Amino acid sequence: MARAPLRRGGPGVREPRVRRGAEPGRGAPVRHHPPPPTMVAVRAREEVPARAGLPPGVPPPRRRLMPLFGSFRIGRWFGFPIRIDYSWFPIAALVIWTFTTREFPRALPFYPSSTYLAMGTAAALLFFLSVLLHELGHALAGRARGVEVEHITLFIFGGIAQARDEARRPLDEFLLTAAGPLASVALAGAFHGARVAAEAWGAPAPVVTVLGFLALLNFVLAVFNMIPGFPLDGGRIFRSIVWAVTGDLVKATRWATQGGRLFGGALIVLGLFNLSRGQFISGVWAAFIGWFVVNAASSSLRHFELRTLLRRIPVATVMNPRPRMIEAELPVGRAISDYFLRGREEAYPVARDGDLVGVVEAQAVSAVPKDARATTPVAAVTRPAEEFPVARPDESLAEALFRIRIQVSYLLVIENGFVVGALDPREVGARVQRLHRMGLVSLDRKPVAARGPASGEDLGPPPARSA
Which residues lie across from 149 on neighbouring strands?
Answer: 163
Q: Output the CA angle 356-358-364, nearest 5 degrees.
A: 150
Handedness of CA 416, 418, 424, 429 (dihedral sign): negative
Alpha helix positions (H), 99-232: 104-107, 113-144, 170-200, 205-225
What stretch of H or E contains 348? strand 347-352
What stretch of H or E contains 289? helix 280-311
- Distant-in-sequence, close-in-space partners of 290: CB < 8 Å, separation ≥ 6: 263, 264, 265, 266, 267, 268, 269, 270, 271
Query: Are the C-beta atoms of residues 24 and 413 closer than 8 Å to each other?
Result: no
In angstroms, the CA 365 to CA 377 distance is 10
Query: Are the C-beta atoms of residues 268 and 291 closer than 8 Å to each other?
Result: yes
Could you tell me which of 251, 213, 39 has the C-alpha nearest to residue 238? 251
Which residues lie across from 411 on neighbouring strands?
Answer: 423
Catalytic residue among 23, 103, 135, 361: 135
Whether residue 135 lies in the annotated active site: yes
In angstroms, the CA 211 to CA 214 distance is 5
Euclidean distance between the first and final Cα of the chain, in Å? 37
Please list the active-site residues: 135
